[in-house]
Amino acid sequence: MLRHASFGTGASAAALHTGPWRPRVVKDSGTALAVAAPQPPSPKPDAFTIGRFRLLRLPASCAEFDYDGCRPDAAASVAVIVQRRGLSTIGQGSTQFALRGGEWTVCDASRPFTVSSVDAGERAILMIPKDRLGLSRNVSTFCGLTFGGAGGTGGLLAAFLTDMARDIDRIPDGDRLELADTSALLVRLVVADVRQSQWQRSAQELLRERIKDYVRRNLRNQCLSIDELSDVFRCSKRHLHKAFAGEEMTLNQYIWFERLERCSEALRDPANAHRSVTEISFMWGFNNSAHFSKAFKLRFNVPPTAYRGKALERRHENPTDS
C-alpha cells in the first residue's frame, strides 16, 4: 500500500496529525521527518546528514513526498532528485513534470516541492549547498530541466546517485562526504554544460527549447495553449510560431504529440489498469474524450482502448519486455 510522507518543519508535517493516522516523527538536526501511517507503521524515508549535504532515500511505498522548504539552510541549497526506477511527477509552484527511471532534476530547496510516485518507483534526493555548484544566486534557469536520459555526464550522475543511495548504509562515514562531493562535482559539470549550450544557441533556438521544456512540464494543464505560452514568455503568438519555423511540427502539433505520447505510455503501463481511458487522457491535459480518441487513432492507427488491450496482452505474453 502506498503512503504519504512529509519532510520539513512547516505545516505540511503538522497536517498529518489528524484522523486515524498515527504519525511517527524523527528529529534530526532540527528537522522533522514525519510519515503518516496506519498501524502497523509504514516504511519512512531514510535521512542521512553528510556534512552540509543531506541525502533522503524514498521507498517505493511512499506515494507522495512533500518538502516544505523550511530548513534553516534551505535558501543556500538545491535539491537534486533522482528517479532510481519507475515514474514520478515533480511539482514546484505552478510547474509539474514527469521524471522517469534513470533521470534526475533540480528543485529550489528554498521553496516547497512535491514528489509523487506514479508506479511505486524508488527515488533519492540529495540536498547540495549552492556554493558547491557555483550557484550563489537564482537557480531557476536549471530547475525543472531533466537530465540523464541521453547518457553523458548527466547519465553518469544518475547512475552514481542511484548506487550511492542504495548502498549508503554500507558506506563508512568517512567516505560519504567524498561521494557527496563527487556528486556535487558531476552536477556542476552538467550545469556548466547547460550554461555553455545556452550561450552558444541563437535566441530563436533557445526560445524554442524553453517552450518545449515548458510544454513537457505542463502537459497535465488543460489550459495549456498558445495564449498561455504567449503570456508566459512575454512575446507575440507570431513570435512563438516563428520559433518553430523549420521544425517538423508546428507548436500546436508539438503539444498534441507530447500529450499523445504520454497517454500511450500510460495505456501500456499495467499500473494504470484501474484507470479508464478517459481518465488517462484527462490526466495528460485532454478535456474531450471524443477528440482524444480521434487524435489517438490518427497518431497510432488504432483506437486507444484497442491499443491498451494489445499492449497489455503482449506484456502478459512476454513479461520480461519493457
Report the percent of the chain where pLDDT is more than 70: 79
Are 139 and 170 in contact by the 8 Å Cβ rule? The answer is: no
Instruction: Give the pLDDT score at 122.
Output: 83
Give 7's pLDDT tier (boundaries 50, 70, 90): very low
Instruction: Give the pLDDT score at 286.
Output: 94
Instruction: Give the pLDDT score at 209.
Output: 85
CA dist 152 and 71 (Å) reads 33
Long-range contacts of 36-39 (CB under 8 A, 24+ apart): 36/3, 36/4, 36/5, 36/6, 37/3
C-alpha cell, 49 = 546528514
**Residue where the block lists cell 524553453:** 210
Give 60's pLDDT tier (boundaries 50, 70, 90): confident
Angle at 14 between CA 8 and CA 18, to 5 degrees: 145
Give 86's pLDDT tier (boundaries 50, 70, 90): confident
Nearest 5°: phi and psi at 68? -95, -5
Give 84's pLDDT tier (boundaries 50, 70, 90): confident
Task: Give the pairing of strands 95-100 and 123-129.
Answer: unpaired
Higher pLDDT, 138 or 16: 138
- The pLDDT mean for the chain works out to 79
Residue 229 has pLDDT above 70, yes or no: yes
Is 153 buried (19+), middle (13-18) or exposed (0-12) by CB count in 10 A? middle
Instruction: Give the pLDDT score at 50.
Output: 92
Nearest 5°: phi and psi at 33? -120, 110
C-alpha cell, 241 = 510560431
Edge-to-edge strands of the sheet including 46-50?
Answer: 46-50, 53-58, 123-129, 77-83, 104-108, 146-147
CA dist 131 and 300 (Å) reads 48
Q: What is the pLDDT of residues 139-173, one digit of tens each?
A: 666 777 888 866 788 889 999 999 999 999 999 88
Mean pLDDT in residue range 197-225: 82
* DSSP SS3 for 60: coil
Instruction: Give the pLDDT score at 197.
Output: 63
Higher pLDDT, 241 or 6: 241
Mean pLDDT in residue range 71-76: 75
Mean pLDDT in residue range 46-60: 90
Q: What is the pLDDT of residues 241-299, one digit of tens each?
A: 988 988 889 999 999 999 999 999 899 888 888 999 999 999 999 999 999 999 999 99
Mean pLDDT in residue range 302-314: 89
Nearest CA to 13 out of 2, 21, 311 is that of 21
Q: Which domains does the chain have, with CATH numbers?
A: 3-200 (2.60.120.10), 203-317 (1.10.10.60)
CA dist 302 and 277 (Å) reads 13
CA dist 236 and 255 (Å) reads 18
Instruction: Give the pLDDT score at 1.
Output: 35
Residue 70 has pLDDT above 80, yes or no: no
Residue 228 has pLDDT above 90, yes or no: yes
Higher pLDDT, 203 or 230: 230
Choose the weakest-confidence range: 11-15, 40-44, 209-213.
11-15
Mean pLDDT in residue range 98-116: 89
- Amino acid at the residue 129: P
Nearest CA to 196 out of 115, 132, 141, 254 is that of 141
Instruction: Give the pLDDT score at 121.
Output: 77
